Amino acid sequence: MKVKLHIWRQSKASTAQNFAQDGKMVVYELDNVSKDMSFLEMLDFLNDKLTREGELPVAFDHDCREGVCGSCGIVIDGIPHGPQRGTTTCQLHMRSFKDGAEIYLEPMRAKAFPVLKDLVVNRSAFDRVVQAGAFISVSTGAPKDANAILVAKDAAEKAFDAATCIGCGACVAACKNASAMLFVGAKVSHFLHLPQGQPERDRRARNLVTAMDKEGFGNCTNQNECEAVCPKEISVRVIAEMNREFVRAKLREEPPSHKRVGGDG
Amino acid sequence: MSWLCAFWRSSIGGKLTMAVTGLLLFGFVVAHLLGNLQLLGGQEKLNAYAKMLHDLGSLLWVARIGLLLIFVLHIVTAIRLSRSNRSARPVQYAKSATLQASFASRSMLFSGLSLLGFVIYHLLHFTLGVVHVDEVAKKGADGHDVYSMVVASFSKAPVAAAYIAFQVLLFFHLQHGLQSFAQTLGLHHARYTPMIKSLAFLLALVVAGGNILVVLYPSLWLAKGAA
């Protein structure tokens, strides 16, 4: 099959002052594409051709190519990860497109995700959010018996639904406001339903939301575009849970001046 | 106070402010609709209702100032959030797509700002009597014949059409706003969320439909009665 690709080419990394840099959409015609190629194999095929013609290959992120690492995430025709629901870019195949199709490839567009080159964006903002509280603190020592803490099946499933997040950033890319609330909501929900998440529950909600706000993401307006593009099909339920958790944690927060009985010792 | 300001400035604090002030404004809109529907009861009924409101005196001013504060908070927060949303995406997509965002959800800022314009027009019209002075003059010397003023105004097609157009915007604004209220407060459930969405649709329809009925009343029922 034959495809006409419109690809965002940007040689210099985005800065706060100049986000688009020299970036522009460039058209490439590609023939002899097999419909059994994955989308990334099609790009490999294009890059091979570009390299042989003495042009710079198109930079794009990828790693596992089996839909679990969260590295890939090209915005294809305005949809992060492309037209197939619940699928990462690497798991998308050219049979999802018609012969002769015009396909638009763009990087994820968000102030918090500066473009490094072409289709590659810097998603460190997600790492900083995770470092702010998307974890549980565990004492070192001998591992505990796996079944020592009972978890109800419903709770385990809710936690697991949130834990399937691969941090690809598609939710931010799809959101009309470039909000990261599905991602951060997933981190809150992941621990909320588990007994291990309880001791740090309030602090986690406060710190995650504060870290998210600091990165310059937008705000959720409940349009649910994130849910529609999430390759792991995480529900906006996690956003509702995050809203609830943040408000609860803020209400329970004691003023910094508050002295506890017995002092700090 | 600084604690409260910091909460308001946070993303979720802003969302919560929109939700709570939005619900309060919805409460006002419902009360306003019930007042409007007095028109259907005839001249005496509506005028008696208007007199009752005016006789509240200082209480009326407490309500007006409270309402104004809620309104201002709703609008200021909306502008702050919208600006932050705009700046969160410095470069737009060359090709954009919408998968499941409703028309109502995507036009909240437009419908909201239009409604702000409508409220100003509406106050200038009926409350302050600055625009459409001819009809407002029907209020009479004692200032209590609201009925004649409303009937005279809505008998004019352009005025009625403008009011109806804004009610359509109100329908979309309320429809998305009411269901967002639940989500922002953390109410999300596989069974109840679809019900909340249907309820939001229904309530928005009742409010906008009820108001449209009032606007159409002079031209449909009264004209028929006269003939």
Can you give the pLDDT at residue A122? 97
**Interface pTM, i.e. ipTM:** 0.92
Percentage of chain A modeled with pLDDT above 90: 90
Q: Measured between CB atoms, which of A20, A216, A235 is closest to B91?
A: A20
- State how far the Cα of A61 lies from the Cα of B3, in Å rounded to an integer: 41
CB pairs under 8 A between A and B: 132
Could you give the angle at the alpha carbon of A36 between the alpha carbons of A30 and A38, nearest 5°? 75
Rounded (10°) angle between helices A237-252 and B11-36: 100
Domain ranges of chain B: 2-86+105-226
Q: How far does the CA of residue B175 sit from the closest CA of chain A (Å)?
A: 12
B95-133 core/surface letters (b: 16 or more CB in 10 A; e: else): bebbbebbebbbebeebbebbeebeebbeebbeebeebe
Instruction: Identify from B77, B99, B111, B174 which residue to disrupt to test chain A contact, counting A C-beta atoms within 10 A and taking the largest count.
Output: B99
Element (H, E) at A27: strand A24-30
pLDDT of amino acid B227: 46
What is the predicted pLDDT for the residue at A258?
73
Contact B135, A210 (CB under 8 A): no
pLDDT at B97 over 80: yes
Contact residues on chain B for A20, CB-CB shorter than 8 A:
90-91
Task: State whether B105 and A222 contact (CB < 8 Å).
Answer: yes
Indicate the average pLDDT of chain A: 95
> In the prediction, which pLDDT does B138 show?
65
Query: pLDDT (tens digit, 9 = 90+) per residue, A159-187?
Result: 999 999 999 999 999 999 999 999 999 99
B92 interaction partners in chain A (CB closer than 8 Å): 109
Q: Model confidence over B131-167: pLDDT tens digits?
A: 877 766 666 555 668 898 899 899 899 999 999 999 9
Identity of the residue in B94, B108, B186 whose CB atom sits nearest the CB atom of A106: B94
Which helix (H) or strand (E) is B148 found in, with range? helix B146-154
Q: What is the mean pLDDT of residues B92-114?
A: 96
B15 contacts A219? CB cut-off 8 A: yes
pLDDT band (50, 70, 90) for residue B169:
very high
Mean pLDDT of the residues in chain B: 92
What percentage of residues in chain B have a pLDDT greater than 90? 76
Tokens of B26: 């919805």
More confident residue, A24 or B132: A24
| Mean pLDDT within A53-79 | 97
Q: What is the CATH number of domain B2-86+105-226?
A: 1.20.1300
Angle at alpha carbon of residue B7, lines to A261 and B184, rounded to 5°: 115
Residue from the list A78, A181, A228 with its beta carbon closest to the beta carbon of B96 = A78
Angstrom distance (rounded) from CA B168 to CA A39: 44
Strands A115-117 and A120-121 turn out to be antiparallel
Sketch out chain A's domains with CATH numbers. Answer: 3-117 (3.10.20.30), 124-252 (1.10.1060.10)
pLDDT digits (tens, 9 = 90+) for B18-60: 999 999 999 999 999 999 999 999 899 999 999 999 898 899 9
* B48–chain A nearest CA distance, Å: 42
User: Cβ contact (<8 Å) for B188 and A240?
Assistant: yes
pLDDT of A70-106, one tens digit each? 999 999 999 999 999 999 999 999 999 999 999 999 9
Residue of B nearest to A17 (CA): B90
